[in-house]
Amino acid sequence: MEDRIKQLEKLSIALEPDSGQRRILQEKVIQYGDSLLENFRHEQAFIETGDKGVGLYDSPISDEPIAIDKALELLKTNVDRPGVHLGSEGHLAYIPSGGLYVAALAEYLAAIGGRYAGLFFASPGAVRMERMLLRWIADFIGYPESAKGDLTSGGSISSLMAIVTAREAYNLKAKDFPDTVVYLTDQTHHTIEKALRIAGLKECVKRYIPLDKLYHMSTDALEEAILSDKNKGLNPWLIIATAGTTDTGAVDPMEPIADIADKYQLWLHVDGAYGAAFALCEMGKKILKGMERSDSIIINPHKGLFMPQGSGAVLIKDGRKLFDAHHSTARYLQDEDTLGSPDDVSPADLSPELSRPFRGLRLWLSLKLIGVAPFRAALEEKLLLARYFYEKMQHINCFELGPYPDLSIVTFRYIPPKGDVNEFNQRLINAIHQDGRIFLSSTMIDGKFTQRMAILGFRTHIDTIDRAVEILKEKAQGLEG
Ligand SMILES: *Cc1c(COP(=O)(O)O)cnc(C)c1O
C-alpha cells in the first residue's frame, strides 16, 4: 500500500506547479489578459464566427496535459472571439455588465487564498468584509441598521431569496397560495416569475397592473386591484416594483407604491438589479427616491458597480426575517456556534448556499484601490450619456424615440417612409450585429419592434455614443438605399 501511495503522490505532484513553473504561467496569462484589455476599446463588440467555438471539441479532456500556449490559443479562438464582448465599450445591449481589472486581480487572490466565506467561524475576516460591503450598499440605498443581506450570484437568486423571505414572513402555506396575490407589471423582469415558481408559488394569483404612458406601474390601478382582491376575499401579499426595467429603464413610482404597501400591509420588493446602483450618485438618488421604503431590494454589482458576472446582492430590511427563512444547522457543523452573538451570523444562515465563492473580495479591493468617487462619476456619466444620446437622436430624420430616459436606457425605432416598420427594424438590428462595431439588442414594446440603447459599460464614453449614432445612421440609410 505504501508503495502505491508514494507512486500516486508522484503522479499528483503536477497539481502544484513550483515557483519557476508559476512564473511562466503567470507571464503568459497576464500577457494574454493584456491583449484582451487592449482590444476592448475600438474593437468589435460582437463577432459572429461560422464555427461558434466548436473547435474546442477537437481537443477533448484527457489524461494528457497540453501546454499553456496551446490552451490560450484554444481560449482565444473558441471562447474569447465569438459572440458578445461584454467588456467592449461598444456593448450597449441588454444590461451591460462590467469586469474591472482590479476585480480580476481580487478574483485571483480569492481563489488562491481559498477563504471559506460561508461561515464566520471558518473565516471571520471574509465574513466581516462581506458584511461591511452589504452595509455600504445598504447605506447608499437608505436601508437601516436592522437590514441584513447576502452577496449572491446575481439578480435571479437575490429575488428568489427575497420572495422566500416574504413567503415565510407572511407564514404562507401551500393551502394559502391559490388565494394569495402578487402585483407586478408586464415590464417586471421574467426572473421574478421564475423565482415565484421555484419558491413553490406558481399557483398564486398574479395581477399585471397596467402601465402609464412611460411604462411605469400605474399606482391608481394598483390600489384598485388590491381593493378589488380584498373584496373578493383574496389575500394581497406582495408588490414587485422595478427600479430600472430592462426594456426601457423605467423606474416605477417608488413613493406612491410604498404608501400603498404601507396602507394595506403588503410586502414591497424592489428589483433594483440594474438601477439601484445609480443611488450612489446624487442625480440617481433623486430619481430612485422612495425605494428605501421597501421590505426587500436587490442590486447587481455585476451591472452598476462594474463587477464581473456572479456579483449580486440582496437586502432585507428586517434582517431577522432573512435569517428565519434561510438558517439551518447540522451535526457536523457543531464547532461553529452561529448564534453566539448577532455579530457571528454566517452568510450560510442568510442564504440558500453553504459553500460559496468569496464574492466580497472583488468589490472590496476595487472600492479600496479606486475609491468610491470614480464609481459615482461613472454612474452620473451613464445617466447623462443616455440623455445626450436621446437629444442627438431627436434631430435625426426618421428615428422615433421612446420615453425620455429615467436612467440609462433609450428606446427607439426607425420609421421608413414606406414598408413594414417592424420588418425594417429587424433588418436594422441584423445589420448592426453583422457590422459588430457596436452591439445593440431589440425588444417588443406594445407589439412594436423596438431598438434599445443600454448604457452601463464603464468603458463606454461620449465618443462611443457618437460613433453609435453614426453607425445607426449609416446602417439605416444603407438599408433604405
Ligand atoms: C439583470 C436583471 C435581473 C436578473 O439578474 P441576473 O443577475 O441576470 O440573474 C433581474 N432584474 C432586472 C431588472 C435586471 O436588469
Tally the domains of the chain: 3
167-179 pLDDT per residue, tens: 999 999 999 999 9
In a domain, 3, yes or no: no
Residues 428 and 388 occupy one common structural domain: yes
Q: What pLDDT is attached to residue 40?
A: 85
Query: Are 79 and 152 members of one domain?
Result: no
Give domain status of residue 2, yes or no.
no
Summarize the confidence of residues 10-18 as an average pLDDT.
96
Which of 53, 85, 117 is at the close of a domain? 85
- Do residues 143 and 45 both lie within one domain? no
* Last residue within a domain, chosen from 331, 365, 399: 365
Is 217 a domain residue?
A: yes
What pLDDT is stored for residue 339 in this prediction? 52
Q: Give yes or no: residues 336 and 383 share one domain.
A: no
Task: Identify whether residues 354 and 381 lie together within a single domain.
Answer: no
Q: Tell whether 360 and 389 lie within a shared domain.
A: no
Q: Are strands 296-299 and 267-272 parallel, antiparallel or unpaired?
A: parallel
- Res. 337: pLDDT tops 60: no
Predicted local confidence at residue 331, as pLDDT: 82
**Residue 90 within any structural domain of the chain:** no
Q: Does 16 map to a domain?
A: yes
Within a domain: residue 94?
A: no
CATH code at position 141: 3.40.640.10
- Where does the pLDDT of residue 122 fall: very low under 50, low under 70, confident under 90, or very high at 90 and above? very high
Position 44 pLDDT exceeds 90: no
Q: Which domain holds residue 56?
A: 11-85
Q: Ligand 1 within 6 A of 366 CB? A: no
Let me know: does 78 contact 54? Beta carbons within 8 Å: yes
With pLDDT > 90 as the criterion, what percentage of the chain qualifies? 93
Cα 481 to averaged position of ligand 1 atoms, centre (Å): 39
Beta strand 409-414 with 296-299 is: unpaired
Same domain, 20 and 38: yes
Q: What spacing in Å lies between the alpha carbon of 247 and ligand 1's midpoint?
A: 12
Determine the pLDDT at residue 347. 95
- What's the CA gap between 65 and 12, in Å, rounded? 13
- Report the pLDDT averaged over residues 357-371: 98
User: How many angstroms separate the CA atoms of 293 and 131, rounded?
Assistant: 21
Q: Is the CB of 300 under 6 A from ligand 1?
A: yes
Residue 372 has pLDDT above 60, yes or no: yes
Write down how long the chain is.
Answer: 481
Shared domain check, 16 and 131: no
Q: What is the pLDDT of residues 338-363, one digit of tens each?
A: 455 666 799 999 999 999 999 999 99
Contacts of 233 (CB under 8 A, 6+ apart): 179
Per-residue DSSP letter, 218: P
Percent residues over pLDDT 70 in the chain:
98
Is this prediction's pTM over 0.85?
Answer: yes
Same domain (yes/no): 300, 436: no
Domain limit, last residue, from 46, 70, 85: 85
Say if residue 122 is in the same domain as residue 81. no
* b/e map 345-374, b = 16+ CB within 10 Å: bbbbbbbebeebbbbbbbbbbbbeeeeeee
CATH number, domain with residue 474: 3.90.1150.10
Whether residues 212 and 277 fall in one domain: yes
187, 191, 307, best to mutate for ligand 1 pocket (most atoms within 8 Å of CB)? 191
Mean local confidence (pLDDT), 449-466: 98
Res. 262: pLDDT tops 80: yes
pLDDT digits (tens, 9 = 90+) for 186-235: 999 999 999 999 999 999 999 999 999 999 999 999 999 999 999 999 99
Ligand 1 atom 8: residue of nearest CA: 155
Residue 399 phi/psi, 5-degree rounding, is -90, 125
Residue 335: its pLDDT value, please? Answer: 73
Indicate whether 335 and 200 sit together in one domain: yes
457 lies in a domain? yes
Grid cell locating 388: 445626450
Residue 409 pLDDT > 70: yes
Domain assignment present for 333: yes
